[in-house]
Structure 1
Amino acid sequence: MDIAIPDTVKTWSQFGHPVLMWILLGVAVYSLYLGFQIRRTRTVEDKDVRKDLIKKDFRTRHYQLGSILLAFMITGTVGGMAVTYINNGKLFVGPHLLVGLGMTALIAISAALVPFMQKGNDAARVTHIALNVALLGLFGWQAVTGMDIVQRIISKM
């Protein structure tokens, strides 16, 4: 079955993935901040400071934001691949695609560690932090390589 997609939709759909990913990069940085605040709350010695930090409920916000990141990152990855295939009839297998797929696996593994962290498993917590720091570094690299791809798309318009 061949569905005819209007050319304007094909053209402008190419920019949905980059816009979503830039937004998610910002959300990921904020989520990192919340994660550090959770760690600070857990390790602070001063009881008054700790009470003030607990009132800010960093844990819930971090958990909710992480869930949103997981959902939209997977959706954005699949959507970017779908739009590329629709517009070109193929995927371009290269570093941007492969790192993006690897990032999708990293965020899924990181989210899978949450139940273990909730039970106090410090190894899961350290692994979660390490995976997410690596994920954020890769996300920054993806932003740069993604803009190269966007520039190539614009030059062909």
Structure 2
Amino acid sequence: MDLTLPASIKPWLNFFHPLLMWILLGLSVYAMYLGVQIRRTREAQGDTKKELIKGKFNLKHHQIGSLLLALMVLGTIGGMGVTYINNGKLFVGPHLLAGLGMTGMIAISASLTPYMQKGADWARVSHIALNTLILGLFAWQAVTGMEIVQKIISNL
């Protein structure tokens, strides 16, 4: 299949995925902060708990988490699509495989929400473990992604 795009657009498509992923890395750190605040709220008592509840960390965490899920899935598909459009193939390697794994893990992590809302500690622990792993892989992906970006720039 030959997907022909104007030559002026093709090179710039390469930078959409990395830019989106760096934004998502920042949002992931913010989502982690919100999750920690939710845990602090749950464990707090008295006036401290009342003050923390005013922060609406639970709502913000759910909103950012939903945005992360949607954009990570779209960013993964988009990155693979642009690679295929520009090269006629995907480069199967650690960056692609880790990205696909992260996409699956964030879907599983999000699917634990109903169980956490019912108070299941196993779901909460699993959610935290998956998201910690995702964040670690995300940081590693940022480094390997910049190596790929440098290769693309050198070939322009």
Per-residue deviation, 1:4: 2.6
Report what 2:17 is aligned to: 17
Root-mean-square deviation over aligned CA pairs:
0.9
1:99 aligns with 2:98: yes
Say whether the 8 Å CA contact 2:3–2:85 is kept in structure 1.
no
* Distance in 1 between residues matched to 2:133 and 2:122, nearest whole Å: 16
Q: What TM-score do the two structures reach when normalised by structure 1?
A: 0.97
Q: Which runs of 5+ in 2 are unaligned?
A: none
* Distance in 2 between residues matched to 1:10 and 1:154, nearest whole Å: 13
Per-residue deviation, 1:9: 1.1
What are the within-5 Å matches in structure 2 for residues 109-124 of structure 1? 109-124=108-123
- Describe the superposition over 1:111-144 as per-residue Cα deviations: whole angstroms up to 9, x where unpaired: 0000110111111001000100110000000000
Q: Which aligned runs of 4 or more in structure 1 are off by greater than 4 angstroms?
A: none
State the SS of the aligned residue for 2:8. helix
What are the within-5 Å matches in structure 2 for residues 20-99 of structure 1? 20-45=20-45, 47-99=46-98
Report what 2:151 is aligned to: 152
* Distance in 2 between residues matched to 1:83 and 1:55, nearest whole Å: 43
- Describe the superposition over 1:21-57 as per-residue Cα deviations: whole angstroms up to 9, x where unpaired: 0000000000000000000000123x10000000110
Q: Which runs of 5+ in 1 are unaligned?
A: none
Per-residue deviation, 1:69: 0.1
Q: 1:48/1:42 Cα in 2 relative to 1: closer, same or farther (>3 Å)?
A: same
State the SS of the aligned residue for 2:63. helix
> Percent same amino acid among aligned pairs?
66
For 1:125, give the aligned amino acid. R
For 2:5, give the aligned amino acid. I
Q: How many residue pairs end up in the alignment?
A: 156
Per-residue deviation, 1:8: 1.6
Report what 2:4 is aligned to: 4
Per-residue deviation, 1:2: 4.6
For 2:49, give the aligned amino acid. R
